Chain A
Amino acid sequence: MEKIVRGYPESMRKSIELVEKTRDERLKHVMAESYPLIPLDQRIDILRKYHPDYRMEMKRPVKVGPNKGDLMPNEVADLLEAHPLVSPKDVDLSKIDYDTDILIIGSGGTGLAAALWAYYSGAKPEDILIATKLRLGDANSKMSQFGIQAADRPEDTPMTHYLDIMGAGGFVNDREMVKTMVMEAPMIIKWHEELGVMYDREPDGSMVEKIGGALCRKRLHFCKDYTGLEIMRNLMDEVQNLKIPILEFSPAVELVTDDKGQVAGAVLWNMETSEYHVVRAKSTVITTGGFGRLHIQGFATTNHYGATCDGVVLAYRVGAKLRDMDSVQYHPTGAAYPEAIVGLLCTEKLRGMGAQPVNKNGELFVNPLEPRDVEAAAIIRECYERNNGIITPTGMRGVWLDTPMIEIINGKGAIENNFPAMFRQFGRQGIDMRVDPILVFPTLHYQNGGVIINIKTETMVPGLFAAGEVTGGLHGRNRLAGNSWMELQVFGRRAGIYAAERAKKATLGKLTLDHVVKYERMLKEAGIKTDRKAPMILPDYRGEKVIAHTLRIF
């Protein structure tokens, strides 16, 4: 076993010395001028060659459903070409356990905003039901570090925000959705102020805002690097103060439809007692988040335990169409060492405050602030084609992110003040980010595409709303830092308002699981023979030897 010096084995220390040697020279060119940006038309070249999304052998056209024939990552196609978990004979739909106006599936930033705004727009707390797979608030939202975008400074306008989003997304974004978000973003910030969110501010109250990858303005609001956690703590507290009913550890395993073709609720499953609950709801809102735990192409992920693409599967089964499902965001800087934290997010703010990605020889090889897909592709090229990456004792490849530069550029204490979460995370593993660089590699991060919605968050199926990471269109083919959180709030809010509005007038017919029968038929007709079932609910990380030896007795 190699000797470990301040967190790193000696073999990696040698490379760190080279990084230290080149640092002074690299400090001379900060941010925009540090390395030429790849011109817009040439972005596609580097993406085609190195971005995992462009490896066609890892995708296939899905054989069933509204998006039949569209390319999807194999892992997603596997879930869509799988058997439902319940069939009509398993569930007694005549006994309704929860009869409510608005069912919200998922309790991340989107679900909580939907619940609160349903209440603000007149729904009574007892007419809302939040069903969540793990605990209230367990979601990717809590892990978000960098921030939330809103064009609220005089130097900035909604139009520049619009341009940034369209450009990063490959210009194929849903323009109405983008317009809606950029125009409603400042109002969300004000709402957060009223809730008590402790954004970083100047002494006079104005928001401290930073720039991020592919942005042209400083537009990212943040709460140190615990932005997601801080906003979530406030939203969760509000939901609990209002006593909105919550069912924890009760994922939705199937949506329920009615004989009028509407979505009329869901079948929830208590993971601890194995009991199922039939929920009848006038409006059903899916806010189930992302799919990191599918480990697409074997990548590690930044996502939380429950990010298993459930909502996409549920919506697809009742006939909602998806878009851009084959577009997967790999965050360029996920932790690559040590083994214990591989895949975890190293926020873009690190680059926003001056850290440069550097190869094993200490050379800068890409502009630190390219859009995420370009940045990720560049790092993969550096590690695999050019073989300039660092290889860890467990065989993981990565490049350095030169974090000590942050202290030098912004002054002593900058890392502890701005990145308490990261400083702590690496500190726990014996690494001091202020003194040594950290090792990073792209990690599976975000579902760019998803269920298609309009700006009222309605899907194509009446009665079914969706918002947040589970939906597609807003970010096009690539999301910018800080726009996910704003999406959660702008569209979570709209989902709450429009779900409540519909609930006032909707009438439901007889409950049915016919769509499950139809889906099974589709699978048969497409010749799909499999044991797979979906949604996945939770990933399984048990040791292989154990899995091979298990018996299900009760």
Chain B
Amino acid sequence: MAETKQEEKEEQKEGETVRIYIMGREYKVPAGLTIMKAMEYAGYRFIRGCGCRGGFCGACATVYRKKGDYKLRMDLACQKVVEDGMYLVQLPFTPAEKAIYNLSELQPTTNVLLEYYPEIAKCVSCNTCTKACPQDLEVMDFVQAAIRGDIEQVAKLSFDCIMCGLCAMRCPAEIVPYNVALLARRLYGRNMLPRAKHVEERIKEIEEGKFDKEIERFVKMSLEELKEEYRKREIEE
């Protein structure tokens, strides 16, 4: 942050700082920083609103506007680079009901998602959820697929969801799309994807002790012998 008017002029001339507003207060931060690093530069130390810092966990959901623009925008603080005039706040938590279920008792029927999340029928197809999603997912489309009971489509469209909560906070029908999608993906993965037979077979072999003698031999091997075995490995193409 500039200490004198002279420094301020210099920084602005260089074009190396941007002006952002953190919860209404103006800060000048170096250009090229992510919102997260800019907030830390300004003196904020995160407890909430910071997780993996890599775009995978959804902890840093941020809502912002640009000065002079009425449009509401949403993104992840750890990935989005600051822009001049950004007027921002973070979402520390999303209150949302997650249905409690025993997955082994459920089948991927047409109505199972409606049963656990009946509010999805209230969807008015306004697409507000899609506009909120920082992962660019087609949220409305997977909610619609959920209404139709097309579990596979929900699983495929929602796969990259990091459950940041922005869609749920914006939905006028008060749906929580990411919880619906989670149930759909689990049903799909457990009941609709064919199981790997070779995994079953290998587990049986291990249980029957097929590898016991060999693996013991390797455990007991001398260092030289082990190194030799290692050198002899054939690399699969």
Contact = CB atoms under 8 A, between A and B. Distances in A.
A232 to B, nearest CB: 9
Taking residues whose C-beta sits less than 8 angstroms from the other chain, chain B's interface range is 35 or more
Interface stretch (B44-52, B83-91, B139-147, B168-176): B44-52
A195 B103 contact: yes
Contacts of A207: 196, 198-199
B187 interface: yes
Nearest to B136: A424
B155 interface: yes
Taking residues whose C-beta sits less than 8 angstroms from the other chain, chain A's interface range is 35 or more
B115 interface: no
Contact of A193 (B182, B189, B218): B189
A206 to B, nearest CB: 5
Interface stretch (A92-100, A223-231, A354-362): A223-231
Nearest to B178: A233
Nearest to B14: A1
Interface stretch (B65-73, B124-132, B219-227): B219-227
Given A143-B52, A190-B200, A425-B79, A541 B45 contact: yes
Interface in B172-197: 182, 185-191, 193-197
A184 B57 CA distance: 29
Interface of B: 1, 15, 32-34, 37, 40-48, 50-57, 59, 79-81, 98, 100-104, 135-136, 155, 159-160, 162-163, 182, 185-191, 193-203, 206, 211, 214-215, 218-219, 223, 226-227, 229-231, 233-237
B182 A237 contact: yes
Contact of A163 (B193, B197, B199, B229): B229
A198 B42 contact: no
Contacts of B52: 138, 140, 142-143, 304-305
Contact of A540 (B45, B59, B163): B45
Contact of A233 (B43, B59, B185): B185
A189 interface: yes
A530 B219 CA distance: 45
B222 to A, nearest CB: 11
B153 to A, nearest CB: 13
Contact of A138 (B57, B185, B227): B57
A302 interface: yes
A302 B57 contact: no
A474 interface: no
B37 to A, nearest CB: 7
Given A1-B15, A206-B198, A249-B47, A241 B219 contact: no
B217 to A, nearest CB: 8
B196 A344 contact: no
28 contacts: A1-B15, A134-B50, A137-B57, A138-B59, A142-B51, A152-B196, A157-B214, A159-B211, A164-B233, A167-B233, A179-B215, A183-B211, A193-B195, A195-B189, A196-B190, A204-B197, A217-B236, A229-B57, A233-B182, A234-B186, A237-B182, A305-B50, A340-B32, A340-B79, A420-B159, A421-B56, A428-B55, A545-B1
